[in-house]
A and B are shown apart, each in its own frame.
Chain A
Amino acid sequence: MDLSYEVKDSYAEITAAGRLNMVSAPKLREMVAEVVASGSARIVINLEATGFMDSSGLGALIGCLKAARQAGGDLRIAAVQPQVQMVLGLTSMDKVLTSYPSAAEAFGDD
């Protein structure tokens, strides 16, 4: 999985491309910790190019959500693809992780 981030005006966008599994999940946690430590606690993870996520990846997203909220911010996900949506739905985590059509819309309302 390729991970990168960009700090925008009111949020930071992390782009995750590839498979979010037990190999890449720790790397995502590290990147979110780095972004939060740099002062950006409003984070959107762009999942447009994430074709696969397992329960390890889901656990990382939940951990990252907690980290962002503990720092006074929030973590949202965007451009969710069918397999990731299926995992979110089967685990009822679609109620916990708010999903938006695009990264730009994730923090567009506040």
Chain B
Amino acid sequence: MTDILARRTLRQTALPEAIEAVHTELDKLWDDASFVPDLDRMTFATAVIEAASNVVQHAVPESTKPVELGVDISATSVRLEARVSAFNAVCPDPIDTDAAMPDGEAESGRGLALIRALVTTVTFKRQDGTNTWILSKSPLRD
């Protein structure tokens, strides 16, 4: 019941073009996991793109090696999970995971609040020079 039924991974230099590659991998995941309802696809994909964009826009290299974006997305019959990583990146400042949605006419600062609104859990871990945000969405809706 909890076997991974579809999985896609990507790792490349964290440049804006990488975001289009993430969209492509999400589309391929849905090709292999046709049971995932449209609404869950829409919310999960939006959260994954937000997290990947965050890496591309804000990750700071730890050395002369450029930051690489890693995306590992998988689906079981009841759960979607994404591990979005920044390789070769410094540990980010503590993140206020309860950050509220900015009001009114602010032009930025909605990414994390949006991710939290879209998925069930958001966790962060730092290991061996890699920052990883783990997003999960469950249960899937019919």
Contacts and interface: CB of A to CB of B under 8 A. Distances in A.
A37 B111 CA distance: 30
Interface stretch (B5-13, B42-50, B126-134): B42-50
Contact of B106 (A52, A62, A65): A62
A86 B47 CA distance: 12
Query: How big is chain B's contact interface, by range?
Result: 20 to 34
A59 B19 contact: no
Classify the secondary structure of A's interface with B: helix
B45 to A, nearest CB: 8
B52 to A, nearest CB: 9
Contacts, number: 64
A92 B108 CA distance: 14
B108 A59 contact: yes
A59 B117 CA distance: 17
Interface residues of A, number: 23
Contacts of A96: 104-105
A55 B114 contact: yes
Given A55-B108, A58-B110, A83-B46, A21 B53 contact: yes
Nearest to B108: A59
B101 A55 contact: no
Given A21-B19, A23-B19, A91-B114, A54 B107 contact: no
Contact of B107 (A21, A63, A90, A92): A63
Contacts of B43: 86
Nearest to B115: A55
A85 to B, nearest CB: 10
Given A83-B46, A96-B104, A23 B118 contact: no
Interface of A: 19, 21-23, 52, 54-56, 58-60, 62-63, 65-66, 82-83, 86-87, 90-92, 96
16 contacts: A21-B49, A22-B57, A23-B17, A52-B23, A52-B49, A54-B46, A54-B50, A55-B53, A55-B114, A56-B53, A62-B106, A66-B105, A82-B42, A86-B42, A91-B101, A92-B103
Given A59-B110, A66-B105, 4 more contacts: A54-B49, A55-B53, A92-B103, A96-B104
